[in-house]
Amino acid sequence: MSIYIDSANIEEIKQALDLGWISGITTNPLLLAKEGTEVSALLKDLGHLTSGSVFYQLISETFKEMIEEADRALDILEDKLVVKLPPTDLGFKVCSQLSTRVSCCPTAIYSPAQALVASEAGAQFIAVYVNRATRLMVDGIQLLVDIADVLTNSPTDILAASIKSPDEAFQSIRAGAKHLTLPFDTLTQMSDHPLSQEAVDQFKRDGAGLEK
Ligand code: G3P
């Protein structure tokens, strides 16, 4: 399992990576736009920050331009790049072409049928929008169960995205997701529990340890 930070904000990403258990960075066009800076420079910075993967989503709208855009991203991020693609006929076609030489992740997946197509197109990951599915359509956790079921013998991994709480994160893994991408606030809540804090306070107050 890998846990990624879903952000394009340098400060958030630095803090997240500093936790020591984050495997990389997922971005999307909206997260990149929010930073209001040149995307190529920002991607270069993200590549310098992590030794893990950096997910970048193609925004071009023709086959040729998407391949060219992926190659530009590859020049910047080299083997750290995972190419995110829209789950459309064009996106899956580009995935088939690119997946022989770079990791691909069709994103905004909302159905088991799309997951099957992504698998056939050679995707290493699919990003399933869990909370959005719950809000807009059906139970996002049940959607993960169904997708995990149809991908049982596939090498394509489920990356649970659009996660809004630690509870939704653990339920996603239990439902069959292999990886998580979490926004900064959810990510920082993952290690918290009030009873753990109580125990830590008591150890500090009443306990003993090795002398300096
Ligand atoms: O990469 C963004 C994806 O995780 C969707 O998240 O919060 O827009 O539903 P959200």
Cβ 165 vs Cβ 186: under 8 Å = yes
Q: Could you tell me if the CB of 161 is within 6 A of ligand 1? A: yes
Determine the average pLDDT of the residues in 104-131.
Answer: 98
The residue whose CA is least distant from atom 4 of ligand 1 is 162
Tell me the pLDDT tens digit for each residue of 160-208.
999 999 999 999 999 999 999 999 999 999 999 999 999 999 999 999 9
129: Cβ below 6 Å to ligand 1?
A: yes
- Residue 207: predicted pLDDT: 96
- pLDDT (mean) for 18-46: 97
- Domain extent listing, the chain: 2-206
User: Using a 6 Å cutoff on CB, does residue 53 contact ligand 1?
Assistant: no
| Whether residue 84 lies in the annotated active site | yes
DSSP E strands, the chain: 3-6, 24-26, 53-57, 81-85, 103-106, 125-129, 157-161, 179-182
Question: Over pLDDT 90: what percentage of the chain?
Answer: 99
Sheet hosting strand 81-85, strand order edge to edge: 103-106, 81-85, 53-57, 24-26, 3-6, 179-182, 157-161, 125-129
The protein residue with its alpha carbon nearest to ligand 1, atom 8, reads: 162
Give the pLDDT confidence score for residue 121 in this predicted structure.
Answer: 98
Q: Considering only CA atoms, which residue is closest to atom 10 of ligand 1?
A: 162
Superfamily of domain 2-206, CATH level 4:
Aldolase class I (3.20.20.70)
Distance of CA 8 from the midpoint of ligand 1 (Å): 12
Q: What whole-number percentage of the chain has pLDDT above 70?
A: 100
Whether the CB-CB separation of 161 and 107 falls below 8 Å is answered with: yes
What pTM, to 2 d.p., does this model score? 0.95
* pLDDT at res. 123: 98
Instruction: Give the separation between CA 26 and CA 48, rounded to whole angstroms.
Output: 14
User: 195 C-alpha to center of ligand 1: Å?
Assistant: 30
